[in-house]
């Protein structure tokens, strides 16, 4: 964490508040001013009323001005407070929206590979959960301290006019509370940091039992009691942490309250003494007691607001530090046509905290218009290579060239279209699901219909109540849900809607039945319409049709060639192919060598 001074962070927070809602801040400040003036009016009214009460010769009518002023001032002070409370809700929302936007823009621009690190994801979650509440606390804290300081100044002036000795006494009484606020802020940040990993585990366990994506499996294994048992353990640990933290905060609060009570008691004792020695009259004493009480209230209000501010400071610094580590969003690249081909040259890639590289000196070529397949066992590096080719991960060493030119990630991303194995089922309309891959122009219904037809979605779309305009999925609305295979076709349609010369297909047929797979991939070139493809698949029916096949093992290319070459060679590819063919044909191994 950087050593940015706390005041700098607070100033930044105040600036954020003012920028988020300048009118709201002005209105709130006006209300604060009104509240402070009303406080002084209360003291003045008390002085008038007490003067009239204590004056033996005065009539009842003499009481009226003081009491009327008291009523009006009390009403104004109450109304200012209540209006301000509601006003701050809008202000808080505006500040939260502004901070969320900055945070989400950072999330959208940060290098994708950082999401592979648990430390990054945990920190992001901590920052995210605080980004929701802290700026609001800062907005209310900032305005509360402003109003409180105005009130304290006004009340001090009123009290100075009555008896100057009381002012430093009451101000000193507020000091311990300020010191306590500093201590509390440190304790709160340490608590949040310690609690985040447990909170993430709890969210995850709750989801396993309540989220649609998980309930089918957890229900079928009757795993809920086990999961709830684990959750109970996490809950108990969190409750224990929370209790400890609450204990710390309560002790600190008692300390602060005790200190201000002592201050007020001392001030009241001084007032009695001043009357006793004849320095002030009874009416002044009464007004001074009211002022002392109000000043103590204002002071504790200032302290409360400052506590909110100071407590939020480490969280804001955490947010600012996090934002500082995220690069500013780079402009999207310009799509390029593929004329000769893409080449990956001697690429190495190592994940953070991984012992060995996921890719180690890999070179492949994807000529324009060709279908190139990557095969290999789980963990051999296929998806990692696909992400490098798609411009999502930067290679640790080596390069990716496009028609002979080394391309940066943004350019690569702009020039490639993809289907990933864990594709997204957007809870949006069918049209949005297809057209989201190219937002450079408004969704083109004709183009979406055309690519849907090319991946065999015609019939499914016809059956949807409002065709392309039907909301898909059931997460947000009672939309139409699709089968796994239909969702996969939607993902394929999305990849084709983005009209690029190279498509990366990472297991694009895993959810398709054999007939659907055959229909689509036996004629994959028709589907691709001349585009080049980098295809990752475990289905030999698709792989064998590729123009060229690379076999990966432990992050290296161990063989490559056409299907026929590789089977002929009798290496790893032939071995894997034999395994799958034997399974399909029900023959013992060793009799399948010539089945290609
Ligand atoms: P494949 O697609 O062939 O199954 P991957 O490219 O997904 O293989 O993974 C290649 C290697 O990288 C594997 O050994 C895997 O364990 C490792 N790996 C993948 N993701 C991460 C990650 N986030 N952190 C560390 N290692 C990873």
Q: Distance from the CA of 375 to the center of ligand 1, in angstroms?
A: 14
Residues linked to residue 343 through DSSP beta bridges, in sequence order: 365, 401
Check residue 1 and give its pLDDT: 40
Check residue 282 and give its pLDDT: 86
d(CA 391, CA 400): 9
Check residue 161 and give its pLDDT: 82
Whose CA is closest to 393, among 125, 105, 116?
116
Contacts of 394 (CB under 8 A, 6+ apart): 111, 113, 388, 409
Q: Distance from the CA of 385 to the center of ligand 1, in angstroms?
A: 10
Whose CA is closest to 263, among 317, 300, 219, 216?
300
Query: Mean pLDDT, the chain, as a whole number?
Result: 85
56: three-class secondary structure by DSSP? coil
d(CA 58, CA 264): 32
Strands 405-406 and 397-402: antiparallel
Look-up of token digits 């999502």: 392
- Enter the tokens of residue 402: 């496009």
CB 197 within 8 A of CB 205: no
Alpha helices in 464-571 (DSSP H): 484-497, 514-521, 524-528, 540-543, 563-569
Whether the predicted pLDDT of 131 surpasses 70: no
Share of the chain above pLDDT 70, in %: 94
Q: Which pLDDT tens digit goes with each residue over 159-200?
A: 888 888 878 877 776 677 767 777 777 788 888 888 888 888
pLDDT bin (cut points 50, 70, 90) of residue 593 is very low
**Is residue 537 lining ligand 1, measured as CB closer than 6 Å?**
no
Residues linked to residue 470 through DSSP beta bridges, in sequence order: none
Q: Distance from the CA of 424 to the center of ligand 1, in angstroms?
A: 20
Q: Which helix (H) or strand (E) holds 556?
A: strand 556-561
If you average pLDDT over residues 4-21, what whole number do you get? 69
Whose CA is closest to 10, among 308, 291, 293?
308
Burial classification of residue 253, based on how many CB atoms lie within 10 Å of its CB (0-12 exposed, 13-18 middle, 19 or more buried):
middle
**Is residue 88 lining ligand 1, measured as CB closer than 6 Å?**
no
**Is residue 351 lining ligand 1, measured as CB closer than 6 Å?**
yes
Q: Which pLDDT tens digit goes with each residue over 370-420?
A: 999 999 999 999 999 999 999 999 999 999 999 999 988 899 999 999 998
CB 154 within 8 A of CB 146: no
pLDDT bin (cut points 50, 70, 90) of residue 9 is low
Whether the predicted pLDDT of 138 surpasses 80: no
Q: Which of 381, 554, 557, 572 to mutate to test the pocket of ligand 1 (most atoms within 8 A of CB)?
A: 381
Whose CA is closest to 533, among 341, 334, 332, 336?
341
pLDDT bin (cut points 50, 70, 90) of residue 3 is very low
For the CA of 384, the nearest atom of ligand 1 = 6
**What order do you get walking across the sheet with 532-536 strand by strand?**
416-419, 502-506, 532-536, 371-376, 548-553, 556-561
pLDDT bin (cut points 50, 70, 90) of residue 234 is very high
Check residue 6 and give its pLDDT: 56
- The backbone torsions φ and ψ at residue 177, rounded to the nearest 5 degrees and listed phi first, read -65, -35
Check residue 388 and give its pLDDT: 96
Compute the half-sphere exposure of residue 243: CA atoms within 13 Å on the CB side of its CA: 6
Check residue 592 and give its pLDDT: 42
What DSSP designation does 555 have? T
Closest C-alpha to ligand 1, atom 7: 383
Check residue 4 and give its pLDDT: 47
d(CA 311, CA 325): 23
d(CA 246, CA 48): 45
Q: Which pLDDT tens digit goes with each residue over 68-91?
A: 888 998 899 888 888 887 887 788
Compute the half-sphere exposure of residue 544: CA atoms within 13 Å on the CB side of its CA: 15
Q: Which pLDDT tens digit goes with each residue over 262-294?
A: 878 888 888 889 889 988 888 888 888 888 778
d(CA 441, CA 447): 12
d(CA 383, CA 390): 10
Instruction: Name, of 20-24, 101-105, 551-555, the range with top average pLDDT.
Output: 551-555
Whether the predicted pLDDT of 591 surpasses 70: no
**Is residue 357 lining ligand 1, measured as CB closer than 6 Å?**
no
Share of the chain above pLDDT 90, in %: 35
**Is residue 141 lining ligand 1, measured as CB closer than 6 Å?**
no
172: three-class secondary structure by DSSP? helix
Contacts of 521 (CB under 8 A, 6+ apart): 509, 527, 539, 541, 542, 545
pLDDT bin (cut points 50, 70, 90) of residue 320 is confident
Whether the predicted pLDDT of 569 surpasses 80: yes
53: three-class secondary structure by DSSP? helix
Whether the predicted pLDDT of 313 surpasses 80: no
Q: Distance from the CA of 379 to the center of ligand 1, in angstroms?
A: 5
Choice between 440 and 256, residue whose per-residue pLDDT is larger: 440
C-alpha angle 24-26-31 in degrees, rounded to nearest 5: 95
Q: Which pLDDT tens digit goes with each residue over 430-476?
A: 999 999 999 889 999 999 999 999 998 999 999 999 999 999 987 77
Q: Which helix (H) or strand (E) holds 371?
A: strand 371-376
**Is residue 551 lining ligand 1, measured as CB closer than 6 Å?**
no
CB 123 within 8 A of CB 315: no
CB 504 within 8 A of CB 417: yes
Of 91-100, 402-411, 570-579, the least confident: 91-100
Whether the predicted pLDDT of 132 surpasses 80: no
Check residue 595 and give its pLDDT: 39
pLDDT bin (cut points 50, 70, 90) of residue 350 is very high
- Enter the tokens of residue 4: 């940015």
- Enter the tokens of residue 295: 């000043």
């Amino acid at each position: 964490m950087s050593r940015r001074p706390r005041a700098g962070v607070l100033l930044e927070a105040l600036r954020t508040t003012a920028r988020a809602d300048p009118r709201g801040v002005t209105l709130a400040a006006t209300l604060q001013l009104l509240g402070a003036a009303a406080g002084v009016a209360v003291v003045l009214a008390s002085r008038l009323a007490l003067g009239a009460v204590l004056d033996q010769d005065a009539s009842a009518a003499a009481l009226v001005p003081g009491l009327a002023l008291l009523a009006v001032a009390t009403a104004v002070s109450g109304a200012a407070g209540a209006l301000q409370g509601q006003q701050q809700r809008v202000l808080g929302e505006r500040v939260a929206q502004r901070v969320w936007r900055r945070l989400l823009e950072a999330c959208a621009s940060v290098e994708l590979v950082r999401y592979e690190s648990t430390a990054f994801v945990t920190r992001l979650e901590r920052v995210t959960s605080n980004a929701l509440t802290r700026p609001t606390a800062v907005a209310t804290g900032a305005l509360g301290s402003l109003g409180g300081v105005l009130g304290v100044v006004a009340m001090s002036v009123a009290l100075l006019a009555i008896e100057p000795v009381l002012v430093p006494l009451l101000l000193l009484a507020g000091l311990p509370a300020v010191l306590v606020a500093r201590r509390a802020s440190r304790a709160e940040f340490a608590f949040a940091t310690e609690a985040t990993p447990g909170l993430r585990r709890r969210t995850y366990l709750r989801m396993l039992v309540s989220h649609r994506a998980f309930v089918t499996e957890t229900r079928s294994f009757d795993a809920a009691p086990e999961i709830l048992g684990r959750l109970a353990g996490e809950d108990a640990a969190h409750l224990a942490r929370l209790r400890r933290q609450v204990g710390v905060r309560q002790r600190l609060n008692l300390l602060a309250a005790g200190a201000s009570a002592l201050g007020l008691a001392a001030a009241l004792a001084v007032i009695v003494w001043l009357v006793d020695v004849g320095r002030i009259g009874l009416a002044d004493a009464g007004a001074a007691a009211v002022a002392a009480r109000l000043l103590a209230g204002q002071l504790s209000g200032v302290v409360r607001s400052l506590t909110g501010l100071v407590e939020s400071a480490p969280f804001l610094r955490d947010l600012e530090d996090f934002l500082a580590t995220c690069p500013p969003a780079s402009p999207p690249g310009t799509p390029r046509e593929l004329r000769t081909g893409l080449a990956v040259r001697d690429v190495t890639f190592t994940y953070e905290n991984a012992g060995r590289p996921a890719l180690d000196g890999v070179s492949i070529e994807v000529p324009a218009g060709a279908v190139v397949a990557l095969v290999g066992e789980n963990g051999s590096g296929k998806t990692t290579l696909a992400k490098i080719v798609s411009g999502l991960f930067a290679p640790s060493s080596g390069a990716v060239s496009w028609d002979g030119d080394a391309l940066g990630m943004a350019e690569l991303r702009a020039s490639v279209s993809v289907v990933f194995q864990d594709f997204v089922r957007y809870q949006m309309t069918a049209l949005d699901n297809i057209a989201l891959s190219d937002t450079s122009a408004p969704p083109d219904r004709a183009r979406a219909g055309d690519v849907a037809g090319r991946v065999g979605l015609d019939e499914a779309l016809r059956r949807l109540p409002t065709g392309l305009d039907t909301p898909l999925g059931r997460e947000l609305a009672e939309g139409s849900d699709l089968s796994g295979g239909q969702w996969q076709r939607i993902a394929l349609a999305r990849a084709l809607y983005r009209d690029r010369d190279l498509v990366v297909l990472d297991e694009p047929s895993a959810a398709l039945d054999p007939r659907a797979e055959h229909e689509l991939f036996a004629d994959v070139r028709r589907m691709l319409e001349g585009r080049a493809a980098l295809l990752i698949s475990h289905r030999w029916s698709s792989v064998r049709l590729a123009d060229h096949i690379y076999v990966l093992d432990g992050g290296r290319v161990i063989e490559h060639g056409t299907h026929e070459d590789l089977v002929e060679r009798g290496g790893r590819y032939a071995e894997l192919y034999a395994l799958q063919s034997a399974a399909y044909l029900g023959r013992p191994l060793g009799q399948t060598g010539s089945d290609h």
